[in-house]
């Protein structure tokens, strides 16, 4: 059902400075950047391993775009650090339904748009031993005709 770690989401105050830290310290380059207004974030995706077949693993660096966003609220409380983990699946709808049926709160009725045309949902951290957990179907790993555009 869940086949890999898709990404680790890291909240930061200054995206450009954090990107530069990851480049200078580890040699990780930015593969993709975008603003997701719905989520209230500006983000950079650094590919750690994998290729373009939808099976890659990423670091997702997140800077809030507005003060009322979930990441801004989290940063104000905790400071910078690991914000969530994301498991990859080729069927986010089915995984959310199965996990919801196991008594874990799924935060969205329908998956929403994530990085690079992926479809995402979240599990409540209070039901996951303190870990905000995201489920992701990347645009390239979804069954044909079901990726992106959501």
Residues near Co ion, by CB under 5 A: 9, 60, 86, 134
Q: Is 37 annotated as catalytic?
A: no
CB of 95 to ligand CMX, least distance (A): 16
**Annotated active-site residue in 39, 63, 83, 84:** 84
Backbone angles phi, psi at 59, to 5 degrees: -100, 130
133 binds, among Co ion, ligand CMX, none (CB under 5 to 8 A by kind): none
Q: Is 43 annotated as catalytic?
A: yes
Among 8, 125, 127, 150, binds ligand CMX (CB under 6 A): 125
**80 in Cβ contact with 13 (< 8 Å):** yes
Q: Is 134 annotated as catalytic?
A: yes
H or E, element range at 100 = helix 92-100
Among 2, 9, 58, 142, binds ligand CMX (CB under 6 A): 9
Q: Does 88 bind ligand CMX (CB under 6 A)?
A: no
Q: In sequence order, what are the residues at sequence separation of 6 or more whose Cβ sits closer than 8 angstroms to the Cβ of residue 74?
A: 11, 83
CA distances, 58 to each of 55, 67, 99, 106, 117 (Å): 10, 26, 23, 23, 15
Catalytic residues: 7, 43, 60, 84, 134
């Amino acid at each position: 059902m869940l086949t890999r770690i898709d990404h680790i989401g890291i909240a930061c105050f200054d995206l450009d400075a954090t990107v530069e830290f990851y480049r200078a310290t580890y040699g990780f380059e930015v593969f993709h950047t975008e603003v997701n207004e719905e989520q209230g974030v500006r983000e950079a995706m650094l590919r750690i391993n994998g290729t373009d077949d939808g099976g890659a693993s990423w670091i997702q660096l997140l800077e809030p775009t507005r003060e009322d966003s979930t990441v801004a609220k989290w940063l104000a409380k905790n400071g910078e650090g690991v914000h969530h983990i994301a498991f990859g699946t080729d069927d986010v709808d089915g995984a959310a339904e199965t996990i919801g049926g196991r008594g874990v709160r799924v935060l969205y009725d329908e998956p929403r748009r994530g990085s690079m045309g992926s479809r995402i949902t979240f599990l409540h951290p209070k039901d996951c031993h303190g870990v905000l957990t995201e489920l992701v179907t990347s645009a390239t790993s979804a069954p044909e005709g079901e990726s992106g555009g959501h």
